[in-house]
Amino acid sequence: MSTRRSPMAEPTTATVTFREAIRQAMSEEMERDDRVFLMGEEVGQYQGAYKVSEGMLERFGERRVVDTPIAEGGFAGLCLGAAMVGLRPICEFMTWNFSLVAFDTLINNAAKLRYMSGGQFTLPVVFRGPGGAAHMLGAQHSHALDGVYAHFPGLLVVVPSTPRDAKGLLKTAIRDDNPVVFIESEMMYGAKGDVPQSGELIPLGVADIKRPGTDCTIVAWGRMVGISLEAARTLEGEGISIEIVDPRTLRPFDAEAVLASVRKTNRCVVVHEGWDVASFGAWVADLVHREAFDYIDAPVERVCNADVPMPYAANLEKAAQPDAERVVAAVKRVCYK
Amino acid sequence: MAVVVEMPKLTDTMEEGVVVRWTKKVGEKVEPGDVLAEIETDKATMEYEAVDRGVLLKTLVTEGSGVAPGTPIAIIGAAGEDVSAMPIGGSSAPGAPAAVVRVVVTPPAAITPGRVAASPIARRMAGEAGLAIANVTGTGPGGRVIKRDIERHAPAPLLQAATATSSEDIVEPLSQMRKAIARRMAEAKPGVPHFYLRREIDAEPLYVLRQQVNLDYAGAKVSYNDFVVRAVALALRSVPAMNATFGGDRIVRYGRVDVGVAVALPEGLVTPVVRAADGKALLALARETRELAERARAKKLRPEEMQGSTFTVSNLGMFGIDDFAAIINPPEAGILAVGAVTQKAVVRNDVVVPGRTLTLTLSCDHRAVDGAIGAAFLAAVADLLEHPTRLVI
């Protein structure tokens, strides 16, 4: 067992990686409720493409940890159908890029069936896997689709930024009766953090202040929280105090937490993966402009991907994505520094 | 062939210039002498004139942004000229397919005259503080009035009530001027070994004469400080060792007497210079000083009008200060701090009588001058001020 327990920490807390936190959430929920099962490519025999489900086949058996063919359109639909008739599937996409093969299932079926059946069906299914750019995976395998899925009413969208949030939110997502899009990051699977071992549930739709501050609010989720924290440390040295609001879930969205922060700081920068045009970050900026209009001292800035398909070359791939330096520059602009 | 326009170095101490406003739009024709932009330095906001003829093809710095001198800020060339290969230090984007959505953002146009641009919170705070936003000088892009501008104008208690964060510290960003003051003063105080000489003078004759001058010359409005500046200028001639600067391996005694006069502004202070002050009659000197101070408050002084003083006078008398010690304005050898003319009991002919006094404090750079020189200079100033007809005849 690779789980390491810090001697200083409380006995109910362990320092674990992001991937272990997700595995703990799935395993605990599968222990708790035998309707929960995991299905996806390489989740069983191969122990998970990114080793998230390592050991789970041995522990829960082939009936509940199910390897699939490379056919997202099929197994995503199968999971949805299983949810309609009472099971609680966890559908793993090797990456969210491949969910596009199952886009019709997610958008036309998962997002609509509760509504169109007048509530006759519950759809307790979680679609999960890594999203966003990783390292030199090329334009087709680097999509950040959080904003795309958040576009559609009927789906809940969760984008955790820490191992603790990942575990607590995934457990809640598995118990929720709505279809949940749960987007992780390959770049963060090895990141470690303290995670309660007490079965903590984190509610969907409640933001977390990742760093309190007074001069400028940064709204960031998922992998962008770490980048924003790095920028905040740089800015602290220059006398600019940053408050980082991590919504944790895009749907439902904790608008009040964002607005309360902006009303305090009067300035806002939204940092997100994905592109500028028609993005979730654009909606957040719009929300702030409308609902905190009398409190803002500068137009909301956004830091996001360059408006190009993700380049393959490492230097260009880096240049096309938000980094701490660009976040620092955007914060200075809204602070008129 | 297109040319790159760089941020000019408008003053010796300028480390950064802020493009307050582009007065030419991209695509507009530019003639030599046309004002291209307004640039804020550590001293003033100045109009920057183009030297090249052509079309403004591109601006590289957004309004409100500051860059170091020498940084490219714009490109001027022939209409339609391709400037993508210009050496401007920007990052090159990878080749984008034709289908990529292009959002064309036109540079912000100059604000319509008569309309005051203000950020929403600035507008709200001004309303709550009962402040007319049109009376506030905006320091944001294009002169936009932003939160910090209101904070500078409105009384603090009103603002604290308005923002409901009264227990929190207010962090105010440094203006270019405040940065320059901080840098120069920090340079002067540990760097220049100061010593101080203080002298209280009998200001009764000065009080009487000033009243008489202002009665006889309607509208002259000669201040005590004008008398002091005139006295200082004449004393620097009679004690030339005080009109000097320490230069490492030598001391330079100035041939000219150019007196800097510190002027307080809401965001700091500047010291416009009265040139050849020793050769100017009192009324002319008073008029020139007042005109410089007014333009200083309007931030309309040119950098050369604030540079090259050989000695400085700082007066806090109008604020009710009896006496104080000033920090030398490097590289000068001295600064005279002037207090208020106050009525008090003085001893005259062994009898205590009501009188008026004025306290002068001279700060000296001990590397350039010694106590005796400073004392001689201060005695000369005091003698002139105690016999002020010598300043007008």
Task: Mark yes or no for CB contact A297/B147 under 8 Å.
Answer: yes
Last residue within a domain, chosen from B35, B61, B77: B77
B139 CB neighbours in chain A (<8 A) are 336
Residues of B with CB under 8 A from a CB of A: 62, 64-65, 91, 93-94, 96-97, 100-101, 103, 119-124, 139-141, 146-148, 165, 168, 171, 173
Q: Which domain holds residue B237?
A: 177-392
Task: Mark yes or no for CB contact B124/A297 under 8 Å.
Answer: no
Q: Is residue B196 part of a domain?
A: yes
Summarize pLDDT for A111-155 with one digit per residue, the tens.
Answer: 999 999 999 999 999 999 999 999 999 999 999 999 999 999 999
Summarize pLDDT for A67-80 with one digit per residue, the tens.
Answer: 999 999 999 999 99
Beta-strand runs (E) in B192-341 = 194-202, 244-246, 251-253, 259-261, 263-265, 268-270, 273-274, 311-315, 334-338
One-letter amino acid of A149? Y
Nearest CA in chain B to A316: B94
- Residue B321 CA to residue B298 CA, distance in Å, equals 25
User: In this structure, what token pair is assigned to residue A177?
Assistant: 């009766």
Shared-domain flag, residues B72 and B182: no
Give A270→chain B minimum CA distance, Å: 19
A294 CB neighbours in chain B (<8 A) are 120-121, 123-124
Task: Mark yes or no for CB contact A316/B94 under 8 Å.
Answer: yes
Q: Which helix (H) or strand (E) holds A232?
A: helix A224-237
> Is A139 at the interface with chain B, CB within 8 A?
no
Task: Mark yes or no for CB contact B101/A266 under 8 Å.
Answer: no
What is the pLDDT tens value at each position of chain B, 393 positions in all? 788 888 888 777 778 888 888 988 888 898 888 888 888 877 777 888 888 888 898 888 888 888 888 888 998 888 888 877 776 654 333 333 333 334 455 544 455 556 788 999 998 888 887 788 888 888 888 889 999 888 887 665 555 544 444 456 666 677 777 788 888 887 887 788 999 999 999 999 999 999 888 888 877 789 999 999 999 999 999 999 999 998 888 888 899 999 999 998 887 889 999 999 999 999 899 999 999 998 988 888 888 899 899 999 999 998 889 999 999 998 899 999 999 999 999 888 899 999 999 999 999 999 989 999 999 999 999 999 999 999 987
User: In this structure, what token pair is assigned to residue A319?
Assistant: 């240049």
Cis peptide before B331 (omega within 30 of 0): yes
Q: Is residue B160 part of a domain?
A: no
**Whole-number pLDDT of residue B114:** 63
Shared-domain flag, residues B200 and B311: yes
Summarize pLDDT for A177-217 with one digit per residue, the tens.
Answer: 999 999 999 999 999 999 999 999 999 999 999 999 999 99
> Which of A243, A297, A316 is the best mutation test for B, with the most CBs of B within 10 A?
A297
Q: Is residue B62 part of a domain?
A: yes
Nearest CA in chain A to B147: A297
Q: Is residue B118 part of a domain?
A: no
Burial class (CB in 10 A: 0-12, 13-18, 19+), B93: middle
Shared-domain flag, residues B356 and B239: yes
Q: What is the 3-state secondary structure (H, E, C) of chain B?
A: CCEEEECCCCCCCCCCEEEEEECCCCCCEECCCCEEEEEECCCCEEEEECCCCEEEEEECCCCCCEECCCCEEEEEECCCCCCCCCCCCCCCCCCCCCCCCCCCCCCCCCCCCCCCCECHHHHHHHHHCCCCHHHCCCCCHHHCECHHHHHHHCCHHHHHHHHCCCCCCCCCCCCHHHHHHHHHHHHHHHHCCEEEEEEEEECHHHHHHHHHHHHHCCCCCCCHHHHHHHHHHHHHHHCHHHCEEECCCCEEECCCCCEEECEEECCEEECCEECCHHHCCHHHHHHHHHHHHHHHHCCCCCHHHHCCCCEEEEECHHHCCCCCCCCCCCCECEEEEECCCEEEEEEECCEEEEEEEEEEEEEEECCCCCHHHHHHHHHHHHHHHHCCHHHHC
A320 CB neighbours in chain B (<8 A) are 94
Residue B182 CA to its chain's centroid (Å): 13
Catalytic residue check, A135: no
Give A10→chain B minimum CA distance, Å: 34
**Whole-number pLDDT of residue B62:** 87
Q: Give the number of residues written for chain B.
A: 393
- Residue B255 CA to residue B261 CA, distance in Å, equals 19
User: In this structure, what token pair is assigned to residue A257?
Assistant: 């937490």
Give B79→chain A minimum CA distance, Å: 27
Say if residues A246 and A225 touch (Cβ distance below 8 Å): yes
A266 CB neighbours in chain B (<8 A) are 121, 147
Last residue within a domain, chosen from B50, B77, B104: B77
CA distances in angstroms from B27 to A251, A336, B193, B325, listed in the order given: 44, 27, 55, 54
Name the catalytic one among B153, B194, B366, B387: B366
A319 CB neighbours in chain B (<8 A) are 91
Beta-strand runs (E) in A97-141 = 126-130
**Whole-number pLDDT of residue B34:** 86
Say if strands A268-275 and A301-305 run parallel, antiparallel, or are unpaired: parallel
How many Cβ pairs closer than 8 A exist between chain A and B? 58
- Residue A149 CA to residue A172 CA, distance in Å, equals 19
Name the one residue in this structure whose structure tokens are 């004002």.
B35
Q: Which of B94, B121, B171 sits opposite A297 (nearest CB)?
A: B121
- For chain A, give the percent of residues with pLDDT over 90: 96
Q: Is residue B10 part of a domain?
A: yes
Give B89→chain A minimum CA distance, Å: 15
Q: Is residue B166 part of a domain?
A: no
B91 CB neighbours in chain A (<8 A) are 319
Q: Which of A295, A308, A333 sits opposite B100 (nearest CB)?
A: A308
Residue B23 sits in a domain whose CATH number is 2.40.50.100
Q: Is residue B120 part of a domain?
A: no
- Residue B112 CA to residue B388 CA, distance in Å, equals 52
**HSE-up of residue B51 (Cα within 13 Å, Cβ side):** 6
Give B101→chain A minimum CA distance, Å: 8
One-letter amino acid of B74? A
Provide CB contacts within 8 A for B222, sequence distance 6+. Answer: B210, B213, B214, B282, B283, B286
**Whole-number pLDDT of residue A179:** 98
> What residues of chain A, 203 to 232, have a C-beta less than 8 Å from chain B?
214-215
Q: Which residues pair with B17 in a beta bridge?
A: B67
Give the three-state DSSP class for A143: coil
Domains and CATH numbers, chain A: 13-196 (3.40.50.970), 208-334 (3.40.50.920)
B139 backbone dihedrals φ, ψ, rounded to 5° = -115, 5
Task: Mark yes or no for CB contact A309/B97 under 8 Å.
Answer: yes
Residue B195 sits in a domain whose CATH number is 3.30.559.10
Q: Give the number of residues written for chain A.
A: 337
- Residue B268 CA to residue B369 CA, distance in Å, equals 29
Task: Mark yes or no for CB contact A308/B140 under 8 Å.
Answer: no
Task: Mark yes or no for CB contact A307/B148 under 8 Å.
Answer: no
**Whole-number pLDDT of residue B9:** 81
Say if residues B378 and B360 touch (Cβ distance below 8 Å): yes
**Whole-number pLDDT of residue B184:** 80
Residue of B136 and A248 predicted with greater confidence: A248
Q: Is residue B226 part of a domain?
A: yes
Shared-domain flag, residues B182 and B45: no
Check whether A6 has a pLDDT greater than 80: no
> Is A276 at the interface with chain B, CB within 8 A?
yes
> Is A289 at the interface with chain B, CB within 8 A?
no
Residue A287 CA to its chain's centroid (Å): 20
Q: Which of A276, A277, A308 sits opposite B96 (nearest CB)?
A: A308
> Is A116 at the interface with chain B, CB within 8 A?
no
Task: Mark yes or no for CB contact A295/B119 under 8 Å.
Answer: no
> Is A335 at the interface with chain B, CB within 8 A?
yes
Give B114→chain A minimum CA distance, Å: 21
Say if residues B254 and B245 touch (Cβ distance below 8 Å): yes
Name the catalytic one among A20, A72, A184, A273: A72
Shared-domain flag, residues B71 and B198: no
- Residue B329 CA to residue B324 CA, distance in Å, equals 15
Residue B341 CA to its chain's centroid (Å): 26
Task: Mark yes or no for CB contact A296/B97 under 8 Å.
Answer: no
Nearest CA in chain B to A215: B171
B100 CB neighbours in chain A (<8 A) are 307-308
Domain count, chain B: 2
| Cα torsion through A105, A111, A112, A114, rounded to 10 | 120
CA dihedral sign of residues A68, A72, A77, A83: positive
> Is A308 at the interface with chain B, CB within 8 A?
yes
Last residue within a domain, chosen from B77, B99, B127: B77
**Whole-number pLDDT of residue A2:** 47
Task: Mark yes or no for CB contact A307/B120 under 8 Å.
Answer: no
Task: Mark yes or no for CB contact B91/A277 under 8 Å.
Answer: no
Cis peptide before A252 (omega within 30 of 0): yes
